[in-house]
Amino acid sequence: MADLMHRRGLLQMSGAVIAAPYLWLPTRAEEPQWATQTVAPFVEVEIASGKIKGGHSRGALAFKAIPYAGSVSGKNRFKAPPPVESWTGVRDCTRLGSPAPQGPGTTFGEHEPKPAEDCLILNVWTPAVKDGGKRPVMFYLHGGGFTTGSGGQNIQDGSHLAATYDVVVVAINHRLGLLGYLYLGELGDYPESGNQGQLDMVAALSWVKQNISVFGGDPNNVMVFGESGGGYKTAMLMGMPSAHGLFHKAGIQSGPGLRGMSRAEATETTRRVLAAFNLTDPAKLFDVPVEKILGLQLAEGKGALATPTKEWAAHHAPKPGDRSMAGTFGPVTDGKVLPADPFDPVPTPLSASMPLLIGNTRDEAVFFYRDDPAFFKKDEAAVRAMAQQALGAKGDEVLALYKKNRPNASPAELVIAVATAMSFGNDTITLADRKSQQPAPVYRYRYDYQSNAPVKGSDWTIRAGHASDISLVFLNQEILDLQGNGPGLNEAAHAMSSYFTSFARNAAPKAANQPAWPRYSTAKRPVMLINSQCQVVNDPDSEERKFWQSRG
């Protein structure tokens, strides 16, 4: 996946709460130096591994960089995370922790330390502590594909969501890239390798089960959700026996994960990693400095692991229905940690009783072309060449169909519509269709709010592009980002955050002054179009859906 750009929030707000014996109520706290800073008065609580200190942030309590597992460096690389080690004294949890190793400019946090191999920490935002609360827990998995990102990005800060809707929000960092998803299962006795990043998430969910009641959360009402790569990770968790019972609802935003990477494909990648380091013994990978591992991971994007064989190249070429979000590194359907592809060809039975909220943005692909302003000026001939390259003989047929349904669309707008369907839209529909055959309800949406954030070097805006919905889910629309600052933004943010939090509470998405959201089925295919004024439409763009589904 393309990396989200690092952006600093512009919002300056004063947090506000003081102590009662066990409950924290609104009052004035210390003025923060940046929007999401954790400030005094500070708060101490005790969890299973020791005492921690948090503070106030934007109307809620925040506890950051809490360890949920032990060290995963050295001899613990490529393995399931070990238990967290206890500590004495009071651990300062007022600042963000390190994200997983990744390239410069790709971390998401504001005032975040540099990446580190030992990165298994989580952040908690809550309205109150030690009050006997039974609040829904919203457990967020960050985007950035499987190679970048962190749970500390400012627009994903959980303070507003916790304070406004009386929920507990958790966001985690976990292993990424080679350290999180390199598969050694066919080359030695490494039973958890290939999915160690996913097992980090299971460890964090186990931490939630053990500790979240201290923060007023209900361990028996946990929703896992995520955007982009975070949505894909959520789908994979739904098919993991070790995660079963640790969460009870799921939300997938622009990240429909139908299947994992095959063992053969993952093993071939590993052989090429070993060759790149001039190694024959996988055990020697434990001694490779993390800087070299990250260097190879970054170089892979430039073909460092490429091979002249057409078969291997075909596995790694993005195409509709493939694991293009995972790229070279991602969860492996190994028959153990991930026994089967979660939603291909049928949904995992592990998800049968789990309600699902799923959707994508209307103009996803704008995000991925935003660094190429010349794209937005392409003429019909150039667009036709792009379609033929991507779809072969079907290219002209696809363009003709989309042009018929969008007679006033520019050439670039046609490409955006087609690319959005191929990258996220089609698999979102497929996953929703298959999951809807199970007893638990499915609710499908399309995010339509049109951002006015400019695309540099063009006369375009981001529109309803990929990742422009993140800040709205978290009710952080004041922090300037991809969502822009146009009319109707507040209404759209309250609608989307209300739908998500009410779904987390009781699996029934609702929002004040917005329409009721019907359960999804393949009979009518109702989709909530989320905007400043939402609406339900049955089977939007049905002709295009039928075309793609006819292709298989």
76 burial type by CB count under 10 A (0-12 exposed, 13-18 middle, 19+ buried): middle
Helix-then-strand count for the chain, H and E:
15, 17
SS (H, E, C) 410-478: CHHHHHHHHHHHHHHHHHHHHHHHHHCCCCCCEEEEEECCCEEEECCCCCCEEECCCCCCHHHHCCCCC
Question: Residue 434: what residue type?
Answer: R
Whether 228 sits among the annotated catalytic residues: the reply is yes
335 burial type by CB count under 10 A (0-12 exposed, 13-18 middle, 19+ buried): exposed
Q: Measure CA 367 to chain center.
A: 15
Catalytic residue among 49, 150, 228, 423: 228
- Its sign, for the CA torsion 146, 148, 151, 155, is negative
Nearest in space to 222 (alpha carbons), one of 232, 236, 237: 237
Q: What is the spatial distance between Cα 59 and Cα 63, in angstroms, rounded to a whole number? A: 13
Question: 3-class DSSP state for residue 217?
Answer: strand
What count of other Cβ atoms lies within 10 Å of the Cβ of residue 329? 25
Q: Are 148 and 102 in contact (CB under 8 A)?
A: yes
Active site (catalytic) residues: 228
